[in-house]
Amino acid sequence: MTVSYWQRAEEFLGRRFEVAVVGGGIAGVSAALELSRRGVDVCLLERHGLASGASGRNAGFLMRGVAESYAAAAERYGREAAAELWRWTEANLAALRGEGIGTLPGYAERGSTLVAFDDGEAGDFERSAVMLRADGFEFELIDAPPRDPDSLWSSSLARLALRNPHDAVCSPVEMVEMLASGLGTSVCVQTHTEVTAIEDRGTDGVALETSRGWVRADRVMVCANAWTSALVPRLRGMIEPKRGQMIQVAAAGAALHDAYYANRGNEYFRQVAPGKFIFGGWRRAEPAGEAGLTDGVRAEVQDRLFELARRILGDGASRGGGWGGAMAFTANHLPIVGPMNAHGRVWVCGGFTGHGMSMGFITARAAVREMLGDPRELPGAVMSPADLA
């Protein structure tokens, strides 16, 4: 819905904040939390409800590393940078546990396992194993069905698996809500408030045009992920929205013990309750149709996901509802974090690709700390807008 000149109040909220955060997903809520803990006067502006974007629509994998194997990541980022990313995601989960995520009903300690369906990827896992061992990371290389019956291994699809034993899964909505509950009353949280433009007014700070009137702040942290470039046009082409789709499947008697990534991270699936499973991925079935910001579904992708589910869970599997979410891809599959210019009034923290749950909490926290003058603590492979200029 658009808002007319007359409906738009002159000024909304009636005072100037030190920092305005745009976006109420994992990144925005984590940023607002850190700001409030540092005693900063902050408002959080979210277009819909908290966790209404990708943060409420994902698979809830809290995984060490990224979707591709360690060997592939070392090739992409360099060996040291890959190790740094692996440690960063370990630190993210440790920090979330410190926040109390372990008490949430949807949380479970569950290994995440990369599964190779072909010899090429299996070879990649063998190379990864050598490198992980040398770099001091704990892992398991699995080439035979586990003792407990597991539908993936019964399906004979898996050739080899590389397992992170200390990972976890969660309900991402619960996780964002838990972090948001820490904001207390000191943070001015405004949902159903869309930011339509950001003006850098020099020494006068920033002015955010919103669907409910202007909001003024000294600085803004844009945590809008897939929607970043609508507010920060200079990042157009650098943070690209792409849809991810998932499907719910029921299969009595089937079991998946781990959170699985297959086909080089292109597909992912796990059990969410007895007899209930979620499957995601298969974007390559319809790459052109999956560009953009919608959260709808397309039959081409949903059919492939269900086909995969049946191969793993058996012919008795029945199809439930599907959903989509807007993800934000960058050239190196890592977020872009930092100030948009030397004045440092407009900051971004977005472009998490498929890793926002696995690294979003401490990445947004680090973004805020840097904004407040602390040294940059992000992994070296995480780019700043200045690196991309």
Residue 43 and residue 190 in contact, taking contact as beta carbons nearer than 8 Å? yes
* Residue choice 20, 33, 59, 85 for contact with ligand FAD (CB under 6 A): 59
- When asked if residue 208 is in the footprint of ligand FAD (CB under 6 A), the reply is no
Tell me if residue 70 falls in helix, strand or coil.
helix
Q: What is the b/e burial string over 294-313, where b = at least 16 CB atoms within 10 angstroms of the residue's CB?
A: ebebbeebbebbbebbbebb
* Residue choice 25, 111, 265, 338 for contact with ligand FAD (CB under 6 A): 25
- When asked if residue 173 is in the footprint of ligand FAD (CB under 6 A), the reply is no
- When asked if residue 357 is in the footprint of ligand FAD (CB under 6 A), the reply is yes
Quick note: the x/- pattern for ligand FAD over 264-303, rule CB under 6 A, is: ----------------x-----------------------
* Residue choice 17, 60, 139, 361 for contact with ligand FAD (CB under 6 A): 60
Quick note: the x/- pattern for ligand FAD over 88-127, rule CB under 6 A, is: ----------------------------------------
- When asked if residue 168 is in the footprint of ligand FAD (CB under 6 A), the reply is no
- When asked if residue 345 is in the footprint of ligand FAD (CB under 6 A), the reply is no
Q: Which of 17, 26, 16, 33 minimizes the C-alpha distance to 53?
A: 26
For the bound state, the minimum distance from the C-beta of residue 147 to ligand FAD, rounded and expressed in Å, comes to 26
3-state helix, strand, coil split of the chain in percent (to 5) is 35, 30, 40
Rounded to the nearest angstrom, the gap between the alpha carbon of residue 283 and the centroid of all alpha carbons in its chain is 17
Residue 86 and residue 70 in contact, taking contact as beta carbons nearer than 8 Å? yes
- When asked if residue 384 is in the footprint of ligand FAD (CB under 6 A), the reply is no
Rounded to the nearest angstrom, the gap between the alpha carbon of residue 196 and the centroid of all alpha carbons in its chain is 23
* Residue choice 75, 135, 194, 209 for contact with ligand FAD (CB under 6 A): 194
Q: What is the b/e burial string over 251-287, where b = at least 16 CB atoms within 10 angstroms of the residue's CB?
A: beebbbbbbbbbbbbebbbbbbeebebbbbbbbebbe
- When asked if residue 175 is in the footprint of ligand FAD (CB under 6 A), the reply is no
Piece in contact with ligand FAD (CB under 6 A), picked from 22-30, 232-240, 296-304, 314-322:
22-30
Burial class from Cβ neighbours inside 10 Å (0-12, 13-18, 19+) for residue 236 reads exposed
Quick note: the x/- pattern for ligand FAD over 38-57, rule CB under 6 A, is: -------xxxx---xxxx-x
For 9, other C-beta atoms within 10 Å of its C-beta total: 12
Interaction site with ligand FAD (CB under 6 A)? 22-28, 45-48, 52-55, 57-61, 194-195, 223-227, 231, 244, 246, 280, 325, 327, 350, 352, 354-358, 360
